[in-house]
Amino acid sequence: DSGVTQTPKHLITATGQRVTLRCSPRSGDLSVYWYQQSLDQGLQFLIQYYNGEERAKGNILERFSAQQFPDLHSELNLSSLELGDSALYFCASSVEPGALDDPRQFFGPGTRLTVL
Amino acid sequence: SQQGEEDPQALSIQEGENATMNCSYKTSINNLQWYRQNSGRGLVHLILIRSNEREKHSGRLRVTLDTSKKSSSLLITASRAADTASYFCAASGSARQLTFGSGTQLTVLP
């Protein structure tokens, strides 16, 4: 158990809909990262937050957005869903960006999104 | 897009044998990390090697890093059936987000 929790575990929805994925980082971790894992694109970094502020963006579509709340949990919002958005979405947390001591990221169990 | 490739894409060995997986990456890194994923589950951190290190050990794991060739390898010694999983390398630069390789599916036969 990494200490990172994600809800829900599974989500089935229809094209055009909007969903929200939730992540709670490990206790004490200030950074949250979101990744998408799909068969055709593999594991891709989407976005990073540190202590409530957006820090870095990767291959995140404009239809997707995220935020990190004062209690450090994070939500990833996916809207106008398309079939190709079906994937595993992972959240990871780490102590803080740039820290030389421990750059490891700890991953949650993921949310499997199926768009029909 | 992914940082690099892993080789082989799939590897099947007998219990007790050693498994070697290779990873190549494209840009300069601060560290390279290896993760394991069991069948669609979350990623588990295995080992991290920093850019100024050449080799690191952790239990049955040995990782090497060659920054001149932008490549790394992971050796699992005395493999067990429980080692069956997908293994990913992940490169991390100054920005710290991970850029993953394509993964190696390891099957250890009992």
* B27-66 residues touching A, CB cutoff 8 A: 30-31, 33, 35, 40-45, 48
Q: What is the pLDDT along chain B (110 residues), one digit of tens a residue?
A: 445 688 899 999 999 999 999 999 998 898 999 999 998 788 999 999 999 999 999 999 999 999 999 999 999 999 999 999 999 999 988 778 899 999 999 999 99
CB contact at 8 A, A68 and A58 = no
**Cα dihedral B94→B58→A42→A87 (10° resolution):** -110
Select from B6, B98, B81, B4 the least CA-distant residue to A105: B98
Please tell me the distance in Å from A21's CA to the nearest CA on chain B.
15
Q: Are A46 and A36 in contact (CB under 8 A)?
A: yes
Per-residue exposure over A5-16, b if at least 16 CB sit within 10 Å of its own CB, e if not: ebeeeebebeee
State pLDDT tens for residues A32-79. Answer: 999 999 988 899 999 999 999 999 999 899 999 999 999 999 999 999
Cβ pairs bridging A and B (under 8 Å): 67
B48–A104 C-beta distance less than 8 A: yes
Under an 8 A CB cutoff, do A48 and B43 touch?
no
Distance from CA of B49 to the nearest CA of A (A): 10
Whether A45 sits inside 8 A of B98 (CB atoms) is yes
The A-side interface with B (CB below 8 A) comprises 2, 4, 31, 33, 35, 41-45, 48, 56, 58-59, 88, 90, 92, 94, 97-98, 103-110, 112
Instruction: List Cβ<8 Å contacts ≥24 apart for B79-83.
Output: B79/B13, B79/B14, B79/B15, B79/B16, B79/B17, B79/B18, B79/B19, B79/B106, B79/B108, B80/B15, B80/B108, B81/B15, B81/B108, B81/B109, B81/B110, B82/B108, B83/B19, B83/B108
A25 preceded by a cis bond (ω within 30 of 0): no
